[in-house]
Amino acid sequence: MTKYIKRHDSMKRLWHWSNIISCVFLAVTGAFLFIPGLGEVLGFDTLRAGQVIHRVFAGVFIGMTVISFILRPSNLIHSMQHIFAPWDEDDKKFMKVFFPYLFNPKKYHMPKQHFVKSGQRVSDFFMYLIIFFISITGIILWAGDAVPTWLFALALFGHDLCFFGFSLLIIIHIYLGGGIFEPYHRIPGLMLGKGYVRESDALYHWGHWAEEELASGENVIEVEPGEKVPFAK
């Protein structure tokens, strides 16, 4: 019998899936304009189509965030609480050891973590900040002639800067969250799959949180061998 702990509810997973799809289209069509010379290679029709696709998925990206917040505001509120929660000794130690661990996971032992690892709290902070500014600047760019030229120019640079920052964060996020980094190889199933984490994985990655959950048993299920793990609601 294996124990599983509920980690991501259905709304969070749906929002994440929507973001994945939106961001792929936004990044690709954004790169059409961001990378010098690429637009000329792709040609007028592709660029025009890219503009339309970019705006459609920008709407999906912003819209789904607003909708998921309205339907389940607790997710964003909890996320903010975790980001701004005070750091304990384990959080500080995690950040100190994280980069050596990234390049030599055999040698370094990571301290227990709460629901969100301290490194991810830093990443989430910048992710939310960038999402906010890339959305605002995108709306200003969309408004075009309705805004003063200086504001348009500022928004254009801000949008490019956010795109650069977002690209770096997303590459690291895919490497870790996508389980390409060996010690994280079972992570993708949490957000992309059914939302449950195996007891052993939970204890390895988020020791403090897992122990609290296992002690309370509130979000814990037990799955018999051969039985399928259900989808977390």
Count interface residues toward other proteins (CB under 8 A).
50
Angle of CA points 179, 183, 184, to nearest 5°: 30
Stretch that binds other proteins, among 84-92, 121-129, 174-182, 189-197 (CB under 8 A): 174-182
C-alpha 7/C-alpha 175 separation (Å) is: 20
Q: Mark the segment that binds other proteins (CB under 8 A) among 9-17, 64-72, 90-98, 99-107.
A: 99-107
CB-based contacts of 201, cutoff 8 Å, min separation 6: 186, 187
Instruction: Please select the residue that binds other proteins; options are 168, 227, 230, 231, rule is CB under 8 A.
Output: 168
- Distances from the Cα of 54 to the Cαs of 2, 31, 67, 221, in angstroms? 44, 10, 19, 41
Residue 167 makes contact with other proteins by CB under 8 A: yes
Among 179, 188, 189, 207, binds other proteins (CB under 8 A): 207
Q: What is the DSSP letter of 35?
A: S
- 66 vs 215, beta carbon nearer other proteins: 215
Binding mask 12-51 toward other proteins (x if CB under 8 A, else -) reads: --------------------xxxxxxxxx---x--xx--x
87 or 175, CB closer to other proteins? 175
Provide the b/e sequence for 127-143 (b: ≥16 CB within 10 Å).
beebbebbbebbebbee
Neighbours of 43 (CB within 10 A): 9
Residue reference for tokens 């200086």: 150
The binding site for other proteins (CB under 8 A) comprises 3, 32-40, 44, 47-48, 51, 102-106, 141, 144-145, 149, 152-154, 156-157, 160-161, 163-164, 167-168, 171-172, 175, 180-183, 199-200, 203-204, 207, 210-211, 214-215
